[in-house]
Amino acid sequence: MIYLLIIFVLALAVAPLLHFAPSKHQRRIARLREFAALQGLFVEFRSIPEATLSSAELSGHAPGKTIYYGLRIPATGRSRRESGAWLNGEQGWRSIPRGGAVPAQFEKLPPGIFAASVDPGSWGIYWQEAGDEVEIAVISNVLSSLLDPAHCS
């Protein structure tokens, strides 16, 4: 009887600590973000570029809750860069605002990516981390190809 009481007390002491253990989903996200860092990408929460987006295009993407995987632009290329944004919708990639050129490399991006942007500091994509390491490697390769001097102007 005393052993059962000891086991019960230990279980009561350990149970609250189990709430601090990461879930399977949290471990997967941590693994993805670590792999992204090894590929030279940084990860942060950002709002998708909202200029001229309709409410249907913005649905499901809460401001500041979207994950941005970016590749920093070297300081030598920053002065020549202009900001830009693109949205991946049912008809494919389009520029925000409409009418701008869409980089051909975007066609190589995985389907879970719904937006991309460039600012003076980075090229990046917006998604909900629905992929795996293979998709992150593709994202890294595409973003690296966009650092080509032909895309500086």
Q: Give residues with Cβ within 8 angstroms of 59, minimum separation 6.
A: none
**Cβ-based neighbours of 40, under 8 Å, separated by 6 or more:** 71, 140, 144
User: What are the φ/ψ torsions at residue 26 (nearest 5 degrees)?
Assistant: -65, -40
Q: Report the range out of 36-45, 53-62, 95-104, 119-128 with the highest average pLDDT.
A: 36-45
Confidence at residue 20, expressed as pLDDT on a 0 to 100 scale: 83
Is the confidence at residue 94, as pLDDT, over 60?
Answer: yes
Torsion of CA 25, 30, 35, 39, to 10 degrees: 120
Residue 27 has pLDDT above 80, yes or no: yes
Name the residue ranges covered by the structural domains of the chain: 23-151
**Residue 68 pLDDT > 90:** yes
Give 12 or 76, the one with higher predicted confidence: 12
Phi, psi of 82 (to 5 degrees): -115, 155
- Residue range 98-144, pLDDT digits in tens: 778 899 999 999 988 989 999 888 999 999 888 899 999 999 999 99
